[in-house]
C-alpha cells in the first residue's frame, strides 16, 4: 500500500513545481509547433511524439486547456492567447457533440477554465466574452444530459458504446450539468418538458455509486474488497435492469481498471465540494461512502510510491511477487503502470481530504501529496526536451494493444497521454494555489 509521507507539506514541493511549469511550457510549445491537429486531436505519444487515435475526440479540450492552466500558474500571457484562440476556433463542435459522454472533459477544461479566470479577476472582464463562455457551458450541459437511459429509481448518461452502457469515467462529465444548472439552464425535451440538470447529474452519480462501485456487501461472489470499481455496467434497456459488470479498457468486469477507479475518486470528491452547502448532509451520505471506499481501495492496492499498475487484476502481477510492498516498476517485464491514473487519483485524495477536514481528512490529503511528490520526479516527470509528453509511463488501452512498447521492453512504458499531462497540470495548479494562498482551485469557481 501507499507509504504516506505524514510530514510532507505543500510548501516543500514549491521548487519542484517551479521546475515542473518550466518543463510544461516547453512541452506545450513543442506540441503547438509539431503536432498537426488536422489529423485529429493528440492522444498519446509514440517514441516521444504525440499521435492521434481515431475513437472519439475526447482529448482536444485537454490540449487547449493545458495552455490555459499554464497561464494560470505562470501569468505568461502567450499561453492565455493560445488557449483562448484555439478554444474559440476549434472547440465549438464539442459543445453540440451528441455522440460522446465526454463534455465534462472537453468543455470544462476550456470554456470553464476561461470563465473561471474571468470570475477570479485573472483576465479582464468582458460582458460579451463572459456571456459567450456561459452559453457554451449551458449548451454543453444540456447536450450531455440528453444522452439518458432511465433505470428503476433513476438513470444514467450513457457512454459512446450505446444506451446499455454506463461508464465509471462519465462521473466527471457531471460537472458540466452542474455548471449549466448553476447558470440557470435546463434541458427541454419532448412537449417542452423541462428537465432539471442538477437532478439528472445526481441521478447519474447515484447510479455510478450503486452499480460501478463495490462495497464488500456481497453484491456478487467477487464483492469482497470495498472500493473496487467496474469500468462499465451493462443494462437491459427494455426494462432498465442491471445485467453485468464489464470492462472496455480494464482487464475484466471483475477486476479494477485503475484509471476508472481514479475517475471515481476525483469525480465523487469534487462533487462533494460543489454540493457542500448546497445540499443536506444526509443527501451526500451515499456520495461520501463511494468516495471513501474508492480512496481507501486505491491507497491499499497501490505500490508504496502511489503509482498503480494499470489494473489490479492484471494477470502478470502474479509474477511480480510482493509488488505492493515496494515502489512501482514501470520497466518490469509483465504489466505496465499507469501514471495518469496516479495524477487523477492524487487530486481526488487531496480534494476528499480537504472536504472531510480535520484528522479524518488529513490522511487522504497526505496521501495525495505523497503521490504528487513521486510524479514530480524521475522516472515519471519527462525532462527530455525531445519528448513531447510531460508525464511518463501512462497507458491508454492495454487490451487493444494501442500503447507503444519500446524495443527491448516487454510491456508499454516511457510514453505520455494528453489526459495525463492535463491532469498533472491540474494537480500541480491545485497544490500551487494551496502554497501561495490564491483561491482554492475548483471547477465551479466559474459560477461563484
**pLDDT tens-digit map of 335-365:** 999 999 999 999 999 999 999 999 999 999 9
Pairing of strands 232-236, 165-167: antiparallel
pLDDT tens digits, one per residue of 31-63: 988 877 778 899 999 999 999 987 778 999 999
Distance (Å, whole) CA 305 – CA 275: 32
Distance (Å, whole) CA 429 – CA 128: 28
Using the predicted structure, report yes or no on whether residue 28 has a pLDDT greater than 80: yes
Using the predicted structure, report yes or no on whether residue 318 has a pLDDT greater than 80: yes
Write down the pLDDT at residue 333.
97
Mean of pLDDT over the chain: 96
Return the HEC string of 240-287: CEEEEEECCCCCCCCCCEHHHHHHHHHHHHHHHHHHECCECHHHHHHH
Using the predicted structure, report yes or no on whether residue 447 has a pLDDT greater than 80: yes
Using the predicted structure, report yes or no on whether residue 280 has a pLDDT greater than 90: no
pTM (predicted TM-score): 0.98
30-39, 57-66, 186-195, 209-218 — which is least confidently predicted?
30-39
Q: 10-447: which CATH topology?
A: Glycosyltransferase (1.50.10)
Sequence spans of domains, the chain: 10-447
Write down the pLDDT at residue 278.
82
Handedness of CA 263, 46, 308, 17 (dihedral sign): negative
Grid coordinates of 323: 509488488
Write down the pLDDT at residue 53.
83
pLDDT tens digits, one per residue of 409-428: 999 999 999 999 999 999 99
% of the chain exceeding 90 in pLDDT: 94
CB-neighbour burial class of residue 27 (10 A; exposed 0-12, middle 13-18, buried 19+): buried
DSSP alpha helix (H) spans, 301-338: none
**Which DSSP category does 55 fall into?**
S
Using the predicted structure, report yes or no on whether residue 329 has a pLDDT greater than 80: yes
pLDDT tens digits, one per residue of 121-159: 999 999 999 999 999 999 999 999 999 999 988 999 999
pLDDT band at 279 (very low <50, low <70, confident <90, very high): confident
Let me know: does 402 contact 53? Beta carbons within 8 Å: yes
pLDDT tens digits, one per residue of 284-293: 899 999 999 9
pLDDT band at 162 (very low <50, low <70, confident <90, very high): very high
Amino acid at each position: 500500500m501507499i507509504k504516506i509521507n505524514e510530514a510532507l507539506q505543500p510548501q516543500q514541493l514549491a521548487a519542484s513545481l517551479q521546475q515542473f511549469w518550466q518543463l510544461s511550457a516547453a512541452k506545450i510549445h513543442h506540441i503547438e509547433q509539431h503536432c498537426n491537429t488536422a489529423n485529429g486531436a493528440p492522444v498519446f505519444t509514440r517514441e516521444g511524439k504525440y499521435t492521434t487515435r481515431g475513437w472519439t475526440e475526447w482529448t482536444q479540450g485537454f490540449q487547449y486547456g493545458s495552455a490555459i492552466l499554464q497561464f494560470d500558474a505562470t501569468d505568461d500571457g502567450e499561453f492565455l492567447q493560445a488557449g483562448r484562440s484555439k478554444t474559440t476556433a476549434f472547440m465549438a463542435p464539442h459543445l453540440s457533440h451528441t455522440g460522446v459522454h465526454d463534455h465534462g472533459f472537453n468543455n470544462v477544461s476550456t470554456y470553464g477554465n476561461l470563465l473561471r479566470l474571468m470570475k477570479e479577476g485573472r483576465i479582464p472582464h468582458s460582458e460579451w466574452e463572459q456571456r459567450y463562455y456561459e452559453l457554451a457551458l449551458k449548451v454543453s450541459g444540456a447536450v450531455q444530459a440528453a444522452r439518458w437511459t432511465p433505470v428503476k429509481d433513476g438513470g444514467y448518461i450513457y457512454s459512446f458504446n450505446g444506451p446499455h452502457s454506463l461508464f465509471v469515467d462519465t462521473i466527471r462529465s457531471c460537472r458540466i450539468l452542474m455548471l449549466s444548472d448553476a447558470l440557470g439552464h435546463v434541458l427541454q425535451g419532448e412537449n417542452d418538458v423541462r428537465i432539471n440538470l442538477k437532478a439528472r447529474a445526481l441521478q447519474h452519480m447515484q447510479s455510478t455509486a450503486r452499480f460501478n462501485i463495490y462495497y464488500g456487501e456481497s453484491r456478487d461472489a467477487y464483492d469482497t474488497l470495498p472500493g473496487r470499481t467496474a469500468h462499465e455496467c451493462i443494462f437491459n434497456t427494455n426494462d432498465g435492469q442491471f445485467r453485468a459488470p464489464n470492462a472496455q479498457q480494464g482487464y475484466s468486469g471483475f477486476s479494477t481498471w485503475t484509471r476508472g477507479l481514479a475517475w471515481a475518486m476525483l469525480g465523487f470528491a469534487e462533487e462533494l465540494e460543489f454540493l457542500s452547502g448546497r445540499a443536506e448532509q444526509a443527501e451526500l451520505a451515499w456520495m461520501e461512502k463511494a468516495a471513501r471506499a474508492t480512496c481507501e481501495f486505491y491507497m491499499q492496492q497501490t505500490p508504496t510510491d502511489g503509482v498503480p499498475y494499470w489494473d489490479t487484476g492484471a494477470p502478470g502481477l502474479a509474477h511480480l511477487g510482493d509488488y505492493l510492498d515496494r515502489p512501482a516498476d514501470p520497466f518490469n517485464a509483465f504489466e505496465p503502470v499507469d501514471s495518469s491514473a496516479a495524477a487523477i487519483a492524487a487530486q481526488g485524495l487531496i480534494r476528499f481530504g480537504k472536504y472531510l477536514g480535520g484528522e479524518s481528512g488529513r490522511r487522504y490529503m497526505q496521501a495525495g501529496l505523497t503521490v504528487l511528490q513521486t510524479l514530480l520526479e524521475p522516472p515519471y516527470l519527462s525532462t527530455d526536451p525531445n519528448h513531447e509528453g510531460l508525464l511518463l509511463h501512462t497507458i491508454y488501452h492495454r487490451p487493444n494493444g494501442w500503447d507503444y512498447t519500446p524495443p527491448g521492453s516487454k510491456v508499454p512504458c516511457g510514453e505520455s497521454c494528453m489526459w495525463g499531462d492535463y491532469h498533472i497540470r491540474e494537480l500541480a495548479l491545485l497544490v500551487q494555489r494551496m502554497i501561495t494562498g490564491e483561491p482554492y482551485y475548483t471547477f465551479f469557481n466559474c459560477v461563484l
